[in-house]
Amino acid sequence: TPLSHIRNFSIVAHIDHGKSTLADRLIQMTDTVAERDMKDQLLDSMDIERERGITIKANTVRIDYTADDGQQYVLNLIDTPGHVDFSYEVSRSMRAVEGSLLVVDSTQGVEAQTLANVYQAIEADHELIPVLNKIDLPASDLDRVAEQIEEVIGIDASGAIPVSAKTGQGIRETLQAIVDHLPAPTGDRDAPLKAMLVDSKYDPYLGVVVLVRIMDGVLKKGDKIRMMQTGATYGVDRIGVFRPAMTVVDELGPGEIGFITASIKQVRDTRVGDTITHEKKQCAEPLPGFKPSIPVVFCGLFPVDSSEFESLRDAIEKLALNDASFSFEMENSAALGFGFRCGFLGLLHLEVIRDRIEREYDIELITTAPSVVYHVYMKDGSMEELHNPADMPDLTLVDHVEEPRIKATILVPDDFLGDVLKLCQDRRGIQEDLTYAGSRAMVVYDLPLNEVVFDFYDRLKSVTKGYASFDYEITGYRQDNLVKMQLLVNDEPVDALSMMVHRDRAEMRGRAMCEKLKGLIPRHMFKIPIQAAIGGKVIARETLSAMRKDVTAKCYGGDATRKKKLLEKQKAGKKKMRQFGKVDIPQEAFISALKMD
């Protein structure tokens, strides 16, 4: 296909504004898939993605379209992940295309992720086509939403296309607008190969399938290629395009998007954003802006049933095959036994992995409180990355601790603004900006990531009745008064409950944890002190009083079978206990204590 007849685009939208439905319609309208092959949502391939209504891994599809001028065009759609945790992947996919459809739900308006994604598109120099979706709904308000796009995003929305991805109205106009308004790609067929590694996926039959965008040169089957960032070399086995089913082609030229397989064993060997070139005739410089994605949120995953440790290892290793940004190492906790310390790109990423282990591998898990990566500066001048609060070095050796900060953007209807400001303030936030877009406020806060990983989304949703939208990016590290707080039960530290807290909030947190634990640990024959401490100094304390009578005592010695039943019940309960010195703590207590209120 000549360059002039190729258009590459992505769709930017807030979650639930109709990106997948629209993509399905575009594919359907052009007969790319026969009607009977059309599943509900072709682009979202994993069950969990569908259930949660989010797109996790970028997908792509090649659409053949006969335009108004009677000529055939090739339209390549790259589907980008819709969530903040994957913003680097989004930025890479954006660099692989020349334009975007900006989809806004015309019953809702611009939301936080609309903004975050559209800024990425603008940064990638995209031509934008505003699409107002869901016009079939009575609440659709085209004028208001078009005005809002102009006001908040600052682009011309007079040519916005009214669409119903549900009924198919406006789909033909959208396809034609892609041909008319988006620029054709540029590239030099005779130059050395320069291609971007946009995404990769593990396929049980084909091995790793790599999604590429060719910038210059031509890629053919049998070519020896080199990944410029990792330095690895491979022979290309297969070249193809997604229609959306995988279809083999002879070659991919400049401007084209497709896949290759090359006997790559694991997704870890591929890096999103890497530059692919020919081993023999290399391009002069790699594509700019490569950044390996690194985990920022860590937590421990332990099997509830310790005999499932090996199955958990197996599940984690399989998931890691297909996810280069998920890291893990074995961890041994006195409280929870053997498990894994795992690193994620963000909270959503964590939730997705945890859910997949529980559902696809049927392993019940205990997840310890998520923690961010702290930078611990030692008195001797060295710096340690702290992934697990339990590993915090002795305070006397520590000079200071830095924590990651984020820039959070929240869009919220006026009525809830007060609650949102209070929430951010309570989480040690610093307000950076407050502006209005129609009847909605846009607030920008500088917040510690640590205060967001616990339960910020949930709190935000509940105080705004679900009306707020939220997006964030990590801005850097800053020093603060951060300390490790330990929980001691009968004077024994419980490692799984160690956490990093801000000194000013430690007492409050400590008191809450002690009270909670007091309610969760069963009484013993002796008094049990429950304490929160910072570096040996107790800051909160509760005492669980001793059990006065034997459990069977209240049976008044009468009914023997009842007595026996009670004792059996007690025995069964024992099994799920963990011993801390002389104290038995039920597994359930850890799970509940780690849940935030």
SS (H, E, C) 395-443: HHHEEEEEEEEEEEEEEEEHHHHHHHHHHHHHCCCEEEEEEEECCEEEE
d(CA 5, CA 398) in angstroms, rounded, equals 62
Burial grade of 354 (CB within 10 A; 0-12, 13-18, 19 or more): middle
Q: From the list 54, 131, 145, 260, which residue makes contact with ligand GTP (rule: CB under 6 A)?
A: 54
Least Cβ distance, residue 82 to ligand GTP (angstroms): 4
Distance CA 474, CA 295 (A): 12
Task: Tell me which of 62, 134, 278, 349 binds ligand GTP, using CB under 6 A.
Answer: 134
Judged by CB under 6 A, the stretch of 52-60, 61-69, 154-162, 206-214 that binds ligand GTP is 52-60
- Check residue 140 for interaction with ligand GTP (CB under 6 A): no
Q: Which is nearer to ligand GTP, 20 or 368 (CB)?
A: 20
DSSP state for residue 497 in the 8-state scheme:
G
Among residues 8, 55, 114, 367, the one that binds ligand GTP under rule CB under 6 A: 55
Tokens of 118: 């559209």
Residues β-bridged to residue 448? 405
What 3-state DSSP class applies to 104? Answer: strand
Euclidean distance between CA atoms 576 and 366, whole angstroms? 13
Kindly provide the b/e burial profile for residues 521-554, where b requires at least 16 CB atoms within 10 angstroms of the residue's own CB.
Answer: bbeeeeebebbbbbeeeebbebebeeeeeeeeee
- 528: closest CA among 585, 586, 574, 460? 585
CA distance 115 to 108: 14
Q: Does 130 sit near ligand GTP (CB under 6 A)?
A: no
**462 belongs to an annotated ligand binding site:** no
Q: Which of residues 78-97 bind ligand GTP (CB under 6 A)?
A: 82
Q: State the Cα–Cα distance between residues 552 and 587, nearest whole angstrom.
A: 23
- For the purposes of burial, counting CB atoms within 10 Å of the CB of 221, is it exposed (0-12), middle (13-18) or buried (19 or more)? middle
Q: Please, are residues 386 and 343 in contact by the beta-carbon 8 Å criterion? A: no
Strand partners, 131: 103, 161
Q: Is 231 annotated as a binding residue?
A: no
Q: Which lies closer to ligand GTP via its Cβ, residue 11 or residue 372? A: 11
165 binds ligand GTP (CB under 6 A): yes
Q: 438 to 477, contacts with ligand GTP by CB under 6 A?
A: none
The residue (of 52 and 505) whose beta carbon lies closer to ligand GTP is 52
Closer of 56 and 152 to ligand GTP (Cβ): 56
- Minimum CB separation of residue 163 from ligand GTP in Å reads 7
Which part of the chain contacts ligand GTP (CB under 6 A), choosing from 161-169, 251-259, 292-300, 479-487?
Answer: 161-169
104 versus 441: smaller Cβ distance to ligand GTP: 104
The answer on whether 133 is annotated among ligand-binding residues is yes
Q: Which is nearer to ligand GTP, 16 or 150 (CB)?
A: 16
Integer Cα distance of 334 and 390 in angstroms: 11
Cβ-based nearer residue to ligand GTP, 131 or 342: 131
Q: Which stretch binds ligand GTP (CB under 6 A): 129-137, 446-454, 497-505, 589-597?
A: 129-137
User: Please, which residue, 48 or 577, has the CB nearer to ligand GTP?
Assistant: 48
As to burial, measured by CB atoms within 10 angstroms (0-12 exposed, 13-18 middle, 19+ buried), residue 43 is buried
Q: Does 164 bind ligand GTP (CB under 6 A)?
A: yes
Closest among 37, 1, 42, 5 to 21, alpha carbons compared: 42
Is 18 annotated as belonging to a binding site? yes
H or E segment to which residue 356 belongs = helix 347-360
> From the CB of 137, what's the least distance to ligand GTP, in Å?
5
Stretch that binds ligand GTP, among 134-142, 205-213, 394-402, 443-451 (CB under 6 A): 134-142
- Binding residues for ligand GTP restricted to 10-29, rule: CB under 6 A: 13, 15-21
Q: Which is nearer to ligand GTP, 53 or 418 (CB)?
A: 53
Q: Is 15 labelled a binding residue? A: no
Smallest distance from the beta carbon of 348 to ligand GTP, in angstroms? 11
Segment near ligand GTP (CB under 6 A), from 51-59, 148-156, 374-382, 399-407? Answer: 51-59
| The pairing of beta strand 127-133 with beta strand 99-105 | parallel
Question: Is 136 annotated for ligand binding?
Answer: yes
Query: Applying CB under 6 A, which of residues 5, 166, 461, 563 lies at the interface with ligand GTP?
Result: 166
Residue burial 250-284, b: 16+ Cβ < 10 Å; e: rest: eebbbbbbbbbbbebebbbbbbbbbbbbbeeeebe
The site string for ligand GTP over 215-244 (x = CB under 6 A, - otherwise) reads ------------------------------
**Which residue's entry shows tokens 């040519």?**
159
Told to check if 114 binds ligand GTP by CB under 6 A, we report no
Question: Which runs of E-coded beta strand occur in 490-569?
Answer: 492-493, 499-502, 528-534, 537-544
Residues touching ligand GTP, count (CB under 6 A):
19
Measured distance CA(242)–CA(78) in Å, rounded: 10
User: Beta strands of 163-206 (E only): which ranges?
Assistant: 194-203
Of the pair 276, 348, the CB lying nearest ligand GTP is at 348
Is there a binding annotation on residue 135? yes
Q: What residue ranges bind ligand GTP (CB under 6 A)?
A: 13, 15-21, 53-55, 82, 133-134, 136-137, 164-166
Binding-site sequence positions for GTP: 16-21, 133-136
Binding-site sequence positions: 16-21, 133-136
